[in-house]
A and B are shown apart, each in its own frame.
Chain A
Amino acid sequence: MSVERRERATKFRADVYFFFNYYFPRRGPAAALDWIQRPLPSSEKGCLRRLLIWCSPLVDILLRDLVLILGSTAGGASRRRLGEMERQSLNRVMSLGISDLALECVMGYIDDPRDREAVSLVCRKWYRIDAITRKHITIAICYSASPDRLRRRFPRLESLKLKGKPRAAMFNLIPEDWGGYAGPWVCEIADAFNCLKAVHFRRMIVQDADIGVLVKARGHMLQALKLDKCSGFSTDGLLLVARSCRCLRTLFLEESSVTENDGEWLHELAVNNSVLETLNFYMTELRISPQELELLARNCRSLISLKISECDVSDLVGFFRTATALEEFGGGSFNDQAGEINRYERVCFPPRLCCLGLSYMGMNEMHIIFPFAASLKKLDLQYTFLSTEDHCQLIQRCPNLEILEVRNVIGDRGLEVVAQTCKKLRRLRIERGDDEQGPEDEQGRVSQIGLSSLARGCPELEYIAVYVSDITNAALESVGTFSKNLCDFRLVLLDREEMITELPLDNGVHALLRGCTKLRRFAFYLRPGGLSDVGLGYIGENSNNIRWMLLGNVGESDLGLLQLARGCPSLQKLELRSCCFSERALALAVMQLPSLRYLWVQGYKASPTGKDLLAMARPFWNIEFIPPRQDIGDHEFEDRRGGVESQAQILAYYSLAGRRTDCPETVIPLYPPA
């Protein structure tokens, strides 16, 4: 569909033909074999080489054929003198002379979806073989294809991941009934996908009935079920899963809205399953009892990861004692107001525990982590009650930390400790805490100082997400200079401070993007004046590998957006919020961005009828519009918040399934027409 894809496929095809028609005949079989067997440098993503490496035992046969046909004389010209038999052999060679069965085996080793995409575009035969050997598919928006189409193309799928609602749903910006119903997909799975072992629904609406259909058809084989930030089901559905899925290794329900009907499901799970490895109902309101957890630990000896809803940690002593294989724990709660002083002293964590996140933990309980803090690889402090000083105290004991998640209460001081201590840090997330500074939040601000220290101190960083209260260009330049492994960078400038040390951030973002060449995801959420049109141009020019971008409050005018759109060659998914662009500019930008397949916008200059959006109408491009909520009651001009147009949303995405048929009232499909 996109220019880039076609180019990749053409290149791949060209590589195949070049190798067999030119390189190999000229250099001879020995050199060719040698080239195939050379170790693949880590940077090279050559699909052809990978393919040939895996089929090198068969290439011997292949090469012998080639020697016969093409000989040591020049390649192309001699083909014309070939007889019938030779021509048949040549055809065989042109499809690499490998039988279908062999090619199936070989392709099974190619996992990367982009490689697979290239492979499937070579020729029809390869397309077919890719289709029946593809093991996993992720559909980034479930309305981009119909379940039926998925079944027709990939009948032997073993693992499926579907995403429904736009990402903004995680921020309460999408109506609950927007859509993303799992029902149609579950029906198709039950009907046709006989090899499916793993299902992952993210931000979708899943009903108990859907779960029923799923487990009835696939329960005996299901190894992984993830209902990730989903809604629409209850503990009755979980009960069905617990009773029917005895091979389940992973049950993941994080942040889903589950209606509580009773607590039997956990008991049933503990009783019916003995192979469970991962159980996650973190950030849910499910009620469980510690005894059931202990039973689970007794029956499932391979339980490695458990993340739960609220349950007092002092009640989990029995569980921790039993779950000896546990490596990851999250959730629980601490309640130290009951007056018992040493309530948590008895808690003794399992020996292999290296990933931890304890909810509501305060300064008085923090020390129970100290004995094994040095072996911690992952620490989640986002839901704790720790102050800046507490963070410093704890983190300085964790030199092996690879993943850290905190709120901005960590402050610049805490980040300094991180920079000095956590040299192996790969991922850091600093979330937005309470805006009103409570007594423990006095130093709870992250600024350019912390960010610069971090960049200098932690060179292994691959992922940084941070809410800052202040920023400078120099801090961004530091990141560009030192964080060479960065793949994902997200910065949000909080709106509490009136004056920011240095704006606009044009030069900083320029240096950042030029320095961090591996960047694939980028979010930059500022305030008016934070980035000029020139800055947007810099982003466009220097984001060769970036596939996802979220931009907020950037640019000064439509020109900026158009300059952005002139670049960003790999941009597939674009989210814009609170910018000043007109519909016309948005439409133009969409038409220019070569790889764009998904657009979400909220906060733009809406025209009264939305008609300018239709400038981006094109085949297979769905355009949906959530109109602004009409404010009842007129406001005087001092109503500064949300003029009517600021609530409107645009969602546009490529789809082979045509117009949505299950839109709620709040969503209006603009294109394709009905």
Chain B
Amino acid sequence: MSRATVELDFLGLGKEDAARFGPMEPRSSVQGIQSAISRINPHVLRSVLASGGGSVMFQPPAPEADSRRLFYFPPPSPLPLLSLASSKTITETLLGTAPLTIFYNGTVAVFDVAQDKAENIIKLAEDVNRVNSRDIGLLQNLNGDLPMARKKSLQRFLEKRKERLTALGPYQAVVDVSSRKEKARKKKTTMDVVTASNF
């Protein structure tokens, strides 16, 4: 098998990505997926094709495919995870991960994922298909929308409450009030942007 035949562009992924998904999406929601695709291990792909495993079929585009869906998921029938079974022997020794091949709308994507991650992806696919078409929030939330910021005064109160609750342990001596205040003041100066909240 010549190396030249198994290029990423052989599957037309690069061009199709740009054409189909570039101008359309208003959010950066598929950046993660796209970057993963660009990191498809050609070695793995080659081995998949070589072993003859995985039906490298090009399915016709599903008629009900929502063009705004930017994810590679097959129509709601059992996933043909043929590649998993066949390529296991080749790649499972590598990292405990196995290739996950996804056929969608005439394109193919292969990812190297661990068993549990693969299960998560399958579950996600099932969930997504059940979800209201408007509820794209589920997936977009994964993509680093700003965390909700909390008001400073309440943040301080909740920290102090936590302190009090931990200080009330049965074997702890009565906590010195001034030292507690010292701690509270120190805590206040750290700007915890991650739990900072906005309203």
Binding site for B on A (CB under 8 A): 168, 170-173, 176, 255, 257, 283, 285, 287, 310, 335, 337-338, 359-360, 382-383, 385, 407, 431-434, 438, 465, 467, 490, 492, 494-495, 498, 503-504, 523, 525, 527-530, 532, 550, 552-553, 556-558, 577-578, 580, 602-603, 605, 637-643, 646
B27:A580 contact, CB within 8 angstroms = yes
| Given A172-B149, A172-B192, 9 additional A-B pairs, CB 8 A | A171-B198, A173-B196, A173-B198, A310-B181, A432-B151, A527-B141, A528-B137, A557-B26, A643-B28
| Closest chain B residue to A559, Cβ basis | B26
A503 touches B135 (CB 8 A): yes
Q: Is the CB of B140 within 8 A of A528?
A: yes
Q: How far is the CB of B52 from chain A (nearest CB, A)?
A: 31
- Considering the complex of A and B, which 4 residue pairs feature the smallest CB-CB distances, nearest first? A637-B32, A171-B149, A172-B196, A529-B137
Q: Is A383's CB under 8 angstroms from B157's CB? A: yes
Q: Is the CB of A527 within 8 A of B151?
A: no
Interface secondary structure of A, over-half rule = loop
Q: Mark B23-63, 1 if CB is under 8 A from A, else 0.
A: 00011100111011000000000000000000000000000
Question: Does B158 lie within 8 Å of A527, measured CB to CB?
Answer: no
Contact A603 B149 (CB under 8 A): no
* Partner pick for B152 among A171, A498, A577, A637, CB 8 A cutoff: A171
In the complex, residue of chain A having the shortest beta-carbon distance to the beta carbon of B148: A495
- Within the complex, which residue of A335, A382, A527 is in contact with B157, where a contact is CB–CB below 8 Å? A382
Contact B181 A577 (CB under 8 A): no
Are A492 and B146 neighbours in the complex by a CB distance under 8 Å?
no
Give min CB distance, A336 to chain B, whole Å.
10
Q: B residues within 8 A CB of A492?
A: 148, 199
Q: Are B146 and A602 in contact (CB under 8 A)?
A: yes
Question: How many whole Å from B71's CB to the nearest CB in chain A?
Answer: 14
Nearest-Cβ distance from residue A226 to partner chain B, whole angstroms: 17
Interface string of B147-188 (1 = CB under 8 A from A): 111111111111011001101100000100110010011001
Partner of B199, one of A490, A498, A603: A490
Listed by A's residue number, 8 A-B pairs whose Cβ atoms lie within 8 Å are A171-B150, A173-B196, A432-B148, A525-B148, A529-B134, A550-B199, A602-B198, A643-B28
Q: Is B136 an interface residue (CB 8 A)?
A: yes
Is B194 touching A337 in the complex (CB atoms < 8 A)?
Answer: no
Is A168 a contact partner of B198 (Cβ separation < 8 A)? yes
Q: Which residues of A lie under 8 Å from residue B140 when comparing CB positions?
A: 528-529
Name the interface size band of chain B: 35 or more
Query: B138 an interface residue at 8 Å Cβ cutoff?
Result: yes
Quote the shortest CB–CB distance from B108 to chain A (angstroms).
Answer: 19
Residue of A173, A310, A532, A640 near B149 (CB, 8 A) is A173
Inter-chain contact A172/B32, CB cutoff 8 Å: no
Q: Which residue in chain A gives the minimum CB-CB distance to B143?
A: A640
Question: Is B185 in contact with A172, judged by CB distance below 8 angstroms?
Answer: no
Could you say which residues of chain A place their CB within 8 Å of the CB of B9?
A: none
Q: How far is the CB of B106 from chain A (nearest CB, A)?
A: 24
Please name all residues of chain A whose beta carbon is closer than 8 Å to the beta carbon of B94 when the two chains form the complex. Answer: none
**Docked-complex contact B191 and A172, CB < 8 angstroms:** yes
Bound together, the chains give a CA A641 to CA B194 distance in angstroms of: 9
**Is A407 within 8 A of B154, CB to CB?**
yes
Is the pair B168, A337 in contact by a Cβ cutoff of 8 Å? yes
A578 partner, pick from B31, B145, B174, beta carbons under 8 A: B145
The verdict on A172 contacting B26 (CB below 8 Å), with A337-B168, A602-B146 known, is no
Contact assessment for B191 and A577 in the assembled complex, using a CB-CB cutoff below 8 Å: no
Whether B151 and A431, one on each chain, are in contact in the complex, defined by CB atoms closer than 8 angstroms, is: yes
- A639 CA / B135 CA spacing, docked (Å): 22
- Contact A638 B32, beta carbon cutoff 8 Å: yes
Given A171-B149, A385-B161, CB of A640 within 8 Å of CB of B144: yes
B48 CB to closest chain A CB (Å) equals 22
Q: How far is the CA of A62 from the CA of B192 in the complex (A)?
A: 66
Inter-chain contacts of B157 with A (CB < 8 A)? 359, 382-383
A255: contacting residue among B26, B36, B153, CB under 8 A: B153
> What separation, in Å, do the CA atoms of A552 and B199 have in the docked complex?
9
Q: Are A639 and B144 in contact (CB under 8 A)?
A: yes
B146 touches A525 (CB 8 A): no
- B85, chain A: closest CB distance, angstroms: 26
CA distance A385 to B134 in the complex (A): 39
Complex Cα distance A527/B31, Å? 20
Q: In the bound complex, do residue A431 and residue B154 qualify as a contact, i.e. CB atoms below 8 Å apart?
A: yes
Which chain A residues border B158 with CB–CB below 8 Å?
433-434
Question: Of the candidates B31, B138, B152, B167, which one forms a contact with A170 in the assembled complex, judged by CB atoms under 8 Å apart?
Answer: B152
Give A591 Cβ to nearest chain B Cβ, in Å. Answer: 21
Output the nearest chain A residue to B160 by Cβ-Cβ distance: A360
